[in-house]
């Protein structure tokens, strides 16, 4: 299966997302469009996918240079931005050249931010090599790095000119990283229409075992469906102004609290899975979804191999404090909750609903 999904923006900024088992081949066309291409990647990815990437770009006719960065979240920082920019300048990258970000969200965010700022902005092609990147971070133009005061605190909107999601690359991804990405896929499943009429939910539920075993055909279908949902949301609310793009944060309000209170012991997608159970329980207590719906969420997430509760005690007060600081919040706590018409922003859910949700995730 091979599909192209458009992200429709104003003027000439629209771009395509290519999903398929040999999508890397699209890099031949990229190589034909630019004189010079700076590939940014990390050693664990380079080991498996760099040769093919360079080969396609070179076949297209580009002069290709490779820049590697550290392979961890802590490497997503301003020092790395400076090192990459200096290396690109020394290697002669100019305004009309391009960056290819070959990696997961860490490479995509960092290299995307370099592209956003280098020579006041050059093109970036996002080649996502993690499930999270292919369904989320590579699409939509959010780039940036962390500073000690906060995650993603320095950044810019810089849409890619193309997104490439080759499902073969997921084969070499560590299983825990891969399964964590399914937490984001479960989020999209909940955004895929009103309860009971969600094709992506049905796909994940019917083929959970094959998907966790990385069946390439099913994976391409899952990535394509998630990418299409993200593309539609970004097309309609690029700068997060109407509240639509904020619904992509379904499950994230509690997830952010869990991540920060457990010192990032959970991978992001794992925390999102627990956050989805939390949000579902709140929605159920508020009568927004049918009684027992949370059990459905728990069942799907467990079948995908994801956690559905906290495995260490988390202070409710501390979690509420983090949730009040969430960027969606306008004074109190704002959550994205499921309902008859699908997910939407809800301000200040009742304290008893929050208390029951803490119970539902075991903290
Ligand atoms: N820009 C956005 O819209 C957005 C959205 C969500 C998350 N993010 C960001 O994404 C980051 C997390 O990204 P992630 O989950 O993709 O993790 P990641 O980029 O840290 O990758 C995880 C690890 O897997 C390795 N790896 C990646 N692809 C591989 C492959 N195909 N084979 C072997 N190893 C591979 C990487 O080198 C890394 O060590 C966070 O910094 C988060 O803030 C950004």
DSSP string, 233-296: HHHH-TTS-SSTGGGGGTTHHHHHHHHHHTTT-S-HHHHHHHHHHHHHHHHHHTTSS-TTHHHH
pTM for the structure as a whole: 0.96
Model pLDDT for residues 142-168, shown as the tens digit of each residue = 999 999 888 899 999 999 999 999 999
Model pLDDT for residues 99-117, shown as the tens digit of each residue = 999 999 999 999 999 999 9
Decide: 273 and 176 in contact? Cβ < 8 Å: no
Mean pLDDT of all residues in 249-264: 95
Q: pLDDT at position 30, please? A: 98
Mean pLDDT of all residues in 31-37: 98
Average model confidence (pLDDT) for the chain?
96
User: What is the rounded distance in angstroms from the CA atom of residue 249 to the CA atom of residue 244?
Assistant: 10
Same domain, residue pair 84 and 137: yes
Same domain, residue pair 120 and 150: yes
- Mutate which of 44, 74, 151 for ligand 1 pocket (most atoms within 8 A of beta carbon): 44
Distance from the alpha carbon of residue 163 to the mean position of ligand 1, in angstroms:
15
Same domain, residue pair 239 and 340: yes
The number of C-alpha atoms within 13 Å of 25 and in the hemisphere containing its C-beta is 8
Same domain, residue pair 187 and 153: no
User: Which candidate, 23, 265, 13, places its Cα nearest to that of 133?
Assistant: 23
Same domain, residue pair 93 and 186: no
Give the pair of three-digit tokens for residue 128: 């996502």
Same domain, residue pair 186 and 250: yes
Same domain, residue pair 114 and 164: yes
Model pLDDT for residues 208-247, shown as the tens digit of each residue = 999 999 999 999 999 999 999 999 999 999 999 999 999 9
Q: Answer yes or no: 316 catalytic.
A: no
Distance from the alpha carbon of residue 104 to the mean position of ligand 1, in angstroms:
3
Same domain, residue pair 89 and 156: yes
**Ligand 1 atom closest to the CA of 76, numbered from 1:** 41
Same domain, residue pair 319 and 188: yes
Q: Answer yes or no: 18 catalytic.
A: no
- Among the candidates 149, 172, 195, a domain finishes at 172
The CATH number for 186's domain is 1.20.1090.10
Distance from the alpha carbon of residue 132 to the mean position of ligand 1, in angstroms:
7
Same domain, residue pair 149 and 280: no
- Among the candidates 109, 137, 172, a domain finishes at 172
Same domain, residue pair 327 and 180: yes
Ligand 1 in reach of 103 Cβ (< 6 A) = yes
Ligand 1 in reach of 146 Cβ (< 6 A) = no
Expressed as residue numbers, the domain containing 7 is: 2-172
Helix or strand or coil: residue 30?
helix
Decide: 187 and 63 in contact? Cβ < 8 Å: no
* Tally of domains within the chain: 2
Same domain, residue pair 78 and 150: yes
- Among the candidates 172, 203, 221, a domain finishes at 172
The CATH number for 165's domain is 3.40.50.1970
Closest CA to ligand 1's atom 3: 137
Distance from the alpha carbon of residue 24 to the mean position of ligand 1, in angstroms:
18
């Amino acid at each position: 299966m091979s599909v192209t999904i458009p992200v429709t923006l104003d003027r000439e900024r629209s771009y395509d997302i290519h999903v398929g088992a040999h999508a890397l081949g699209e890099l031949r066309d990229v190589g034909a469009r630019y004189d010079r291409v700076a590939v940014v990647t990390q050693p664990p990815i380079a080991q498996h996918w760099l040769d093919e990437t360079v080969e396609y770009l070179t076949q297209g006719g580009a002069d290709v240079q490779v820049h590697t960065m550290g392979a961890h979240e802590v490497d997503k920082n301003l020092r790395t931005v400076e090192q990459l920019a200096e290396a690109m300048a020394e290697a002669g990258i100019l305004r009309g050249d391009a960056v290819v970000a070959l990696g997961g969200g860490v490479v995509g965010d960092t290299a995307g931010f370099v592209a956003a700022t280098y020579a006041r902005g050059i093109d970036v092609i996002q080649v996502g090599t993690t499930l999270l990147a292919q369904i989320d971070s590579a699409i939509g133009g959010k780039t940036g790095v962390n500073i000690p005061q906060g995650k993603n605190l320095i950044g810019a909107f810089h849409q890619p000119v193309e997104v490439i999601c080759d499902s073969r690359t997921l084969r070499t991804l560590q299983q825990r990283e891969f399964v964590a990405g399914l937490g984001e896929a479960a989020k999209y499943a909940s955004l895929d229409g009103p309860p009971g009429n969600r094709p992506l939910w049905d796909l994940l539920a019917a083929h959970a075992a094959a998907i966790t075993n990385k069946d390439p055909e099913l994976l391409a279908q899952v990535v394509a469906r998630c990418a299409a949902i993200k593309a539609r949301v970004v097309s309609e609310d690029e700068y997060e102004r109407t509240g639509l793009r904020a619904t992509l944060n379904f499950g994230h309000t509690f997830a952010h609290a869990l991540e920060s209170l457990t010192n990032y012991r959970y991978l992001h997608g794992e925390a999102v899975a627990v956050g989805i159970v939390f949000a579902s329980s709140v929605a159920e207590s508020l009568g927004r979804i049918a009684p027992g719906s949370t059990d459905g969420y728990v069942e799907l997430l467990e079948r995908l191999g994801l956690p559905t509760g906290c495995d260490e005690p988390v202070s409710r007060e501390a979690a509420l404090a983090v949730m009040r600081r969430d960027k969606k919040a306008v004074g109190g706590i704002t959550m994205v909750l499921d309902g008859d018409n699908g997910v939407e922003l809800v301000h200040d859910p009742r304290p008893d609903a929050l208390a029951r949700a803490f119970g539902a995730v075991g903290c």
